[in-house]
């Protein structure tokens, strides 16, 4: 499913109206009807007092449609317009006229009092105050209304996006409504899926409101939900080399988990042959936990980290494998950091860089630009800050734009890890991943991700698809682990153990069903 920015949605609206001849009032009617269907599905409507809060843009017009539709189903509808209705466009003004002709309770609020009175009386609130296009903090009466809605404790259904959430970034513009359900129109907006907006919206629904598929699937829309991709069949006569031969350069004296989780996750996610190059002292420990991995004990510094003396051997091994992962738990030791930079320059195979490898390359990003073979980077926000020179706050302010810029400038595939991880491709496309949960915020989880991505390449997917599927698979394994043991106390070991079941679900198509259920479509 494609995802739009507010500007892109305005262009889709314009095209639908002016090129396809679909009247704006029809689009607005379809939007309001879709929201009414969701409301009726979740709450008793007949005889219930429902407060409809409308702003003075098209979002308010959608709310007026909902008011009419709920009235027709027997609800006691009370409409409060916050602002001057003289500002309504033609479609919204038409719906205002219909609401007035129906004799519904309607107040134009100049103070907070009509809102608080409505909140006291109602059992449900419909939020049609602000749409997706806000660009400055909410203030004045609108801010007070939003605060009152949140304080009232009544269930809320937001139209298109919770009022106060930025439609591009998901950031809160001063204050924002907290909804139980959000019905978005045309396509999901980026702000519906990016946190904190995603959390504030509750359950997200989407209605295409009558747009032809040529609009909602157009190539110009470069953001999309990360969905299940078909996996190559597993050859019945295959051997371990048939499913990928990967080299993991990982581990240090203080980091035994990272090399273990990364290399074993490759095998658990369907990869065939995992080689682990790690300091000698680390290999002796990790081998007792993962005998399935092939070990390449390396020369080490006095601190137990990878030493320059092993660089030539690493280059030679890298030339014989299909895929290289470097950086998990390798430490910030200066000599080891130099090993990683030199190796990144020398490897002529697809390369995934994680953890301390990202810190090493942040000091020499030109090495990434010079690479011919594909590069995958898997930073969390702190590591991305080091790569870009931006602060974490600056990145959070517009994650999609920052990610797209990094991918294009470095010519790399980049996974911005976090809640609803973002996957950026070198051509500027961005995918928002919806699998996963808060229990995955635990040490070692990212190392499992590196192995999952490498395994998807080993199974035969191209790098862009392998990156996307690795992220989806990793999140799905986290969801299965959470269902089994709960999010609290879940560890990377639990995610690792769930990888085979997650992969089986992907092959059976269940992951597609699970992912689709996260954004149900209102037909």
Distances in Å between the Cα of 109 and the Cα atoms of 54, 113, 141, 347 are: 10, 8, 9, 66
Q: Looking at 194, 221, 248, which one is the last position of a domain?
A: 221
Pairing of strands 223-225, 2-3: antiparallel
- In-domain check, residue 520: no
pLDDT digits (tens, 9 = 90+) for 349-397: 999 999 999 999 999 999 999 999 999 999 999 999 999 999 999 999 9
pLDDT at 491 over 90: yes
Q: Are residues 347 and 426 in the same domain?
A: yes
Backbone angle region of 286, left / alpha / beta, with phi > 0 → left and psi within -120 to 50 → alpha: alpha
Q: How would residue 259 be classed by pLDDT, with cut points 50, 70 and 90?
A: very high
Q: Are residues 24 and 87 in the same domain?
A: yes
pLDDT of 48: 96
Q: Which of 58, 43, 45 is nearest to 10 (CA)?
A: 58
Q: How would residue 516 be classed by pLDDT, with cut points 50, 70 and 90?
A: low
pLDDT digits (tens, 9 = 90+) for 226-251: 999 999 999 999 999 999 999 999 99
Q: Are residues 405 and 320 in the same domain?
A: yes
Q: Are residues 202 and 301 in the same domain?
A: no
Q: What's the whole-number mean pLDDT along residues 70-86?
A: 97
pLDDT of 515: 61
Q: Which two tokens stand for residue 302?
A: 């006095």
- In-domain check, residue 234: no
pLDDT at 150 over 90: yes
Give the range among 91-105, 440-454, 503-517 with minimum mean pLDDT. Answer: 503-517
Q: Are residues 267 and 189 in the same domain?
A: no
pLDDT of 364: 95
Q: Which of 113, 41, 112, 102 is nearest to 76 (CA)?
A: 102
- In-domain check, residue 343: yes
pLDDT of 519: 87
Q: Are residues 133 and 263 in the same domain?
A: no
pLDDT digits (tens, 9 = 90+) for 435-451: 999 999 999 999 999 99
pLDDT of 502: 97
- The total number of structural domains in the chain stands at 2
Q: What is the DSSP string of 168-196?
A: TT--BSS-----SEEEEESS-BHHHHSTT
Q: Are residues 466 and 373 in the same domain?
A: yes
Q: Are residues 195 and 277 in the same domain?
A: no
CA 84 to chain centroid, in Å, comes to 37
Q: Which of 432, 427, 347, 358 is nearest to 388 (CA)?
A: 358
Q: Are residues 64 and 206 in the same domain?
A: yes
pLDDT at 518 over 90: no
pLDDT of 511: 73
Q: Are residues 110 and 64 in the same domain?
A: yes
Q: What's the whole-number mean pLDDT along residues 51-64?
A: 98
- In-domain check, residue 522: no
Q: What's the whole-number mean pLDDT along residues 125-141?
A: 96
User: What mean pLDDT, rounded, does the chain reach?
Assistant: 96
Q: How would residue 311 be classed by pLDDT, with cut points 50, 70 and 90?
A: very high
Q: What's the whole-number mean pLDDT along residues 170-185?
A: 98
Q: Looking at 221, 251, 279, which one is the last position of a domain?
A: 221
Report the share of the chain in percent with pLDDT over 70. Answer: 99
- In-domain check, residue 230: no
Residue 417 phi/psi, 5-degree rounding, is -75, 145
pLDDT digits (tens, 9 = 90+) for 4-18: 999 999 999 999 999
pLDDT at 514 over 80: no
Q: What is the DSSP string of 274-341?
A: EEEEEEHHHHHHHTTT-TTSEEEEE-B-TTSSB-GGGHHHHHHHHTTSSEEEE-TT----HHHHHHHH
Q: How would residue 513 be classed by pLDDT, with cut points 50, 70 and 90?
A: low
pLDDT at 523 over 80: no
Q: Looking at 221, 254, 289, which one is the last position of a domain?
A: 221
CATH code where residue 323 lies: 3.40.1190.20
Q: How would residue 485 be classed by pLDDT, with cut points 50, 70 and 90?
A: very high
Q: What's the whole-number mean pLDDT along residues 36-50?
A: 96
- In-domain check, residue 438: yes
Q: Are residues 159 and 274 in the same domain?
A: no
Domain of 33 in residue numbering reads as 2-221
- In-domain check, residue 515: no
Q: Are residues 320 and 213 in the same domain?
A: no
Cα separation, 252 vs 66, whole angstroms:
60
- In-domain check, residue 354: yes
CATH code where residue 47 lies: 3.40.50.10260
């Amino acid at each position: 499913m494609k995802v739009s920015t507010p500007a892109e949605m305005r262009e889709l609206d314009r095209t639908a109206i002016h090129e396809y001849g679909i009247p704006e009032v029809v689009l607005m009617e379809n939007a309001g009807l879709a929201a009414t269907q969701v409301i009726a599905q979740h709450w008793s409507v007949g005889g219930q007092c429902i407060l409809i809060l409308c702003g003075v843009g098209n979002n308010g017009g959608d709310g007026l449609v909902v008011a009419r539709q709920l009235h027709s189903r027997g609800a006691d509808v009370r409409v409060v317009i916050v602002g001057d209705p003289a500002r309504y466009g033609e479609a919204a003004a038409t719906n205002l006229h219909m609401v007035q002709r129906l004799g519904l309770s309607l107040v134009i609020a100049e103070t907070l009092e009509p809102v608080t009175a409505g909140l006291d009386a109602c059992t449900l609130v419909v939020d049609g105050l602000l749409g997706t296009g806000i660009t400055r903090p909410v203030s004045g009466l609108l801010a007070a209304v939003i605060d009152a809605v949140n304080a009232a404790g009544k269930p809320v259904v937001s139209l298109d996006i919770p009022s106060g959430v930025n439609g591009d970034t998901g950031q809160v513009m001063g204050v924002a409504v907290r909804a139980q359900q959000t019905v978005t129109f045309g396509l999901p907006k980026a702000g519906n899926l990016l946190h904190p907006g995603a959390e504030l919206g509750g359950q997200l629904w989407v209605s295409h409101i009558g747009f032809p598929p040529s609009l909602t699937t157009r190539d110009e829309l470069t953001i999309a939900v990360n969905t299940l991709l078909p996996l190559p069949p597993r050859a019945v006569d295959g051997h371990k080399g048939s499913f990928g031969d990967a080299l993991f350069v990982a581990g240090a004296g203080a980091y035994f988990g990272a090399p273990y989780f990364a290399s074993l996750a490759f095998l658990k996610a369907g990869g065939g042959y995992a080689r682990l190059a790690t300091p000698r002292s680390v290999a002796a420990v990790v081998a007792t936990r993962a005998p399935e991995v092939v070990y390449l004990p390396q020369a080490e510094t006095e601190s137990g980290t990878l030493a320059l003396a092993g660089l030539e051997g690493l280059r030679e091994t890298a030339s014989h494998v299909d895929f290289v992962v470097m950086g998990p738990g390798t430490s910030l030791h200066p000599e080891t950091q130099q090993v990683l930079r030199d190796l990144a320059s020398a490897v002529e195979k697809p390369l995934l860089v994680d953890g301390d490898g990202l810190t090493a390359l942040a000091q020499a990003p030109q090495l990434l630009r010079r690479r011919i073979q594909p590069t995958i980077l898997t930073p969390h926000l702190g590591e991305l800050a080091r790569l870009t020179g931006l602060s974490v706050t600056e990145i959070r302010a517009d994650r999609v734009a920052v990610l797209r810029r990094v991918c294009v400038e470095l010519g790399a595939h980049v996974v911005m890890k976090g809640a609803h991880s973002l996957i950026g491709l070198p051509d500027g496309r961005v995918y928002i991943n919806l699998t996963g949960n808060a229990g995955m915020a635990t040490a070692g989880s990212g190392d499992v991700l590196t192995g999952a991505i490498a395994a998807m390449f080993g199974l035969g997917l191209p790098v862009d698809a392998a990156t996307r599927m690795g992220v989806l698979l990793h999140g799905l394994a986290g969801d299965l682990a959470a269902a089994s043991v709960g999010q609290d106390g879940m560890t990377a070991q639990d995610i690792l153990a769930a990888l085979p079941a997650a992969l089986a679900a992907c092959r059976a198509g269940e992951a597609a069903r699970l992912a689709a259920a996260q954004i149900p479509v209102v037909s």
